A and B are shown apart, each in its own frame.
Chain A
Amino acid sequence: MATRTANGKAPTPKLSRKDFASDQDVRWCPGCGDYAILAQMQKMLPELDIPKEDIVFVSGIGCSSRFPYYMNTYGIHSIHGRAPTLASGIKLTNPKLKVFVITGDGDALSIGGNHLMHVLRRNIDLTVVLFNNRIYGLTKGQFSPTSRTGHVTKSSPLGSIEQPLNPLSVALAAEATFVARSIDVETKHLQDTLQQAAQHKGASFVEVLQNCNIFNDGAWHHVTKDDAKEDHLLRLEPGQPLVFGQEKQKGLRVSGLGLEVVEASQADTSPFDPTEKSGALAYALSRMEYPDFPVPIGVFRQVDMPTYETDMDAQVAFAKSKKGDGDLLDLYLSSDIWKVGGDGKVPEERNELKKQIRS
Chain B
Amino acid sequence: MSTVTATEEFTELDSVVVRFSGDSGDGMQLTGTQFTNASAIAGNDISTFPDFPAEIRAPAGTLAGVSGFQVNLSSHEIFTPGDSTDVLVAMNPAALAANLPDLRDDCIVIVNEDAFTKHNIKKAGFAENPLEDGTLERFRLHRVKLTTLNREAVADIEGLSQKEIDRTKNFFSLGLICWMYDRPMEPTLEWVQKKFKKNPTLVEVNTKAFKAGFHYGETTETFQLRFRIAPARLNDGIYRKITGNEALALGLVTAGKLANKDIFYGSYPITPASDILHALAALRHFGVRTFQAEDEIAAMGATVGAAFAGAFAVTASSGPGVALKSEALNLGLALELPMILIDVQRGGPSTGLPTKTEQSDLMMALFGRNGEAPLPIIAACSPSDCFDTAIEAFRFAVRATCPVIILSDGYLGNSAEPWKIPDPGKMEPIKVVHPSKVDGQEFMPYERDPETLGRPWAIPGTPGLEHRVGGLGKAPVTGNVSYRPEHHAQMVEDRQAKVDKLTDIIPDQTTHGPDSGDLLVMGWGSTYGAIRAAVSRAQSEGYSVSSTQLRHICPLPKNLPDLMGRFKKVLIPEMNCGQLAFYLRGKLGVEVESLTQITGRPFKIETIQDAIRDLLGKDAK
Residue numbers of A with Cβ under 8 A of B are 5-7, 9, 22, 24, 51-58, 68-69, 71-79, 82, 84-94, 96-97, 114-115, 117-118, 312, 315-316, 318-320, 322-326, 328-329, 331-333, 335-342, 344, 346, 353, 356-358
Contact A86 B238 (CB under 8 A): no
Complex CA–CA separation, A97 to B266 (angstroms): 19
Complex CA–CA separation, A76 to B302 (angstroms): 12
Contact B328 A336 (CB under 8 A): no
List the 6 closest pairs (A to B, CB-CB), nearest first.
Answer: A89-B305, A85-B301, A341-B236, A77-B470, A326-B286, A86-B305
Give A336's nearest chain B residue, CB to CB: B37
Assuming A94-B461, A96-B461, is B301 touching A68 (CB within 8 A)?
Answer: no
Contact B285 A346 (CB under 8 A): no
Q: What per-residue 1/0 map shows which CB atoms of B283-306 lie under 8 Å from chain A? A: 111110101011101111111111
Contact A97 B468 (CB under 8 A): no
Assuming A89-B306, A331-B253, is B285 touching A322 (CB within 8 A)?
Answer: yes
Assuming A94-B461, A118-B294, is B234 touching A340 (CB within 8 A)?
Answer: yes
Give B313's nearest chain A residue, CB to CB: A89
Within 8 Å by CB of A85, from B187, B238, B305, B307, lies B305
Contact A79 B289 (CB under 8 A): no
Which residues on B sit within 8 Å (CB–CB) of A357? 237-238, 421-423
Give A78's nearest chain B residue, CB to CB: B331
Assuming A69-B470, A92-B264, A339-B239, is B463 touching A86 (CB within 8 A)?
Answer: no
Contact B468 A68 (CB under 8 A): yes
B480 interface hit (Cβ, 8 Å): yes
> Mind listing 20 A-B residue pairs with CB under 8 Å?
A5-B463, A24-B481, A53-B461, A56-B309, A68-B470, A74-B308, A74-B468, A79-B471, A82-B328, A85-B305, A89-B311, A93-B289, A94-B310, A94-B459, A94-B461, A315-B284, A318-B284, A326-B257, A329-B424, A346-B238
* Given A69-B470, A88-B298, A115-B294: 12 more A-B contacts, CB < 8 Å: A77-B472, A85-B301, A85-B328, A87-B305, A88-B305, A92-B291, A94-B461, A115-B298, A320-B284, A328-B257, A338-B40, A338-B43
Assuming A337-B238, A341-B237, is B480 touching A24 (CB within 8 A)?
Answer: yes
Contact B301 A86 (CB under 8 A): yes
Q: What per-residue 1/0 map shows which CB atoms of B178-195 lie under 8 Å from chain A? A: 000000000100000000
Which residues on B sit within 8 Å (CB–CB) of A315? 284
Which residues on B sit within 8 Å (CB–CB) of A340? 43, 231-237, 239
Contact A22 B239 (CB under 8 A): no
B545 interface hit (Cβ, 8 Å): no
Give B427's nearest chain A residue, CB to CB: A328
Which residues on B sit within 8 Å (CB–CB) of A316? 284-285, 287, 289
Which residues on A sit within 8 Å (CB–CB) of B599? none
Q: What per-residue 1/0 map shows which CB atoms of B304-333 lie under 8 Å from chain A? A: 111111110100000000000001100100
B335 interface hit (Cβ, 8 Å): yes
Contact A320 B285 (CB under 8 A): yes
Give A77's nearest chain B residue, CB to CB: B470
Chain B, interface size: which category?
35 or more
Give B471's nearest chain A residue, CB to CB: A79
B469 interface hit (Cβ, 8 Å): yes
Within 8 A of A (CB), among B219-261: 231-242, 250, 253-254, 257
Chain A's nearest CB lies how many Å from the CB of B470? 3
Contact B465 A92 (CB under 8 A): no
How many A-B residue pairs have C-beta atoms within 8 angstroms? Tell me: 236
Contact A73 B305 (CB under 8 A): no
Which residues on B sit within 8 Å (CB–CB) of A92? 264, 289, 291, 302, 306
Which residues on B sit within 8 Å (CB–CB) of A86? 301-302, 304-305, 308
Give A313's nearest chain B residue, CB to CB: B289
Contact B468 A77 (CB under 8 A): yes
Contact B237 A85 (CB under 8 A): no
Within 8 Å by CB of B464, from A53, A88, A96, A114, lies A53
Assuming A337-B238, A340-B43, is B291 touching A90 (CB within 8 A)?
Answer: no
Among A56, A90, A318: residue with most chain B CB under 10 A: A90
Within 8 Å by CB of A94, from B239, B240, B460, B480, lies B460
Give A56's nearest chain B residue, CB to CB: B460
Q: What per-residue 1/0 map shows which CB atoms of B110-132 lie under 8 Å from chain A? A: 00000000000000000000000
Within 8 A of A (CB), among B442-460: 459-460
Contact B253 A328 (CB under 8 A): yes
Within 8 Å by CB of B460, from A97, A324, A325, lies A97
Contact A82 B297 (CB under 8 A): yes
Contact B41 A338 (CB under 8 A): yes
Give A326's nearest chain B residue, CB to CB: B286
Which residues on A sit within 8 Å (CB–CB) of B301? 78-79, 82, 84-86, 88-89, 115
Contact B331 A93 (CB under 8 A): no
Give A7's nearest chain B residue, CB to CB: B461
Complex CA–CA separation, A52 to B242 (angstroms): 47
Chain B's nearest CB lies how many Å from the CB of A68? 5
Give A65's nearest chain B residue, CB to CB: B470
Among B242, B254, B421, B460: residue with most chain A CB under 10 A: B460
Contact A76 B469 (CB under 8 A): yes
Contact A342 B236 (CB under 8 A): yes
Chain A's nearest CB lies how many Å from the CB of B422? 7
Q: What per-residue 1/0 map shows which CB atoms of B75-100 lie under 8 Å from chain A? A: 00000000000000000000000000
Contact A69 B285 (CB under 8 A): no
Which residues on A sit within 8 Å (CB–CB) of B43? 338, 340, 344
Chain A's nearest CB lies how many Å from the CB of B391? 11
Which residues on A sit within 8 Å (CB–CB) of B266? 89
Contact B298 A331 (CB under 8 A): no
Which residues on A sit within 8 Å (CB–CB) of B283? 319, 326, 331
Within 8 Å by CB of B238, from A73, A75, A93, A339, lies A339
Complex CA–CA separation, A79 to B257 (angstroms): 31
Complex CA–CA separation, A69 to B480 (angstroms): 9
Chain B's nearest CB lies how many Å from the CB of A37? 17
Contact A93 B264 (CB under 8 A): yes
Assuming A76-B468, A340-B231, is B239 touching A54 (CB within 8 A)?
Answer: no
Which residues on B sit within 8 Å (CB–CB) of A353? 238
Within 8 A of A (CB), among B408-454: 421-426
Contact B305 A58 (CB under 8 A): yes
Chain A's nearest CB lies how many Å from the CB of B232? 8
Complex CA–CA separation, A54 to B460 (angstroms): 6
B351 interface hit (Cβ, 8 Å): no
Chain A's nearest CB lies how many Å from the CB of B279? 10
Complex CA–CA separation, A120 to B570 (angstroms): 55
Contact A97 B40 (CB under 8 A): no
Contact A336 B187 (CB under 8 A): yes
Contact B469 A90 (CB under 8 A): no
Complex CA–CA separation, A88 to B298 (angstroms): 9
Chain B's nearest CB lies how many Å from the CB of A245? 42
Give A87's nearest chain B residue, CB to CB: B305
Give B258's nearest chain A residue, CB to CB: A328
Contact B460 A74 (CB under 8 A): yes
Chain A's nearest CB lies how many Å from the CB of B505? 23
Complex CA–CA separation, A236 to B376 (angstroms): 54
Complex CA–CA separation, A7 to B460 (angstroms): 12
Which residues on B sit within 8 Å (CB–CB) of A312? 289
Chain B's nearest CB lies how many Å from the CB of A104? 16
Complex CA–CA separation, A331 to B263 (angstroms): 15
Chain A's nearest CB lies how many Å from the CB of B268? 11
Contact B461 A337 (CB under 8 A): no
Complex CA–CA separation, A339 to B264 (angstroms): 34
Within 8 A of A (CB), among B43-91: 43
B105 interface hit (Cβ, 8 Å): no
Which residues on A sit within 8 Å (CB–CB) of B286? 326, 331
Contact A74 B466 (CB under 8 A): yes
Give A52's nearest chain B residue, CB to CB: B466
Complex CA–CA separation, A34 to B229 (angstroms): 76
Which residues on A sit within 8 Å (CB–CB) of B467? 74-75
Contact A79 B331 (CB under 8 A): yes
Give B304's nearest chain A residue, CB to CB: A86
Give A73's nearest chain B residue, CB to CB: B466
Give B470's nearest chain A residue, CB to CB: A77
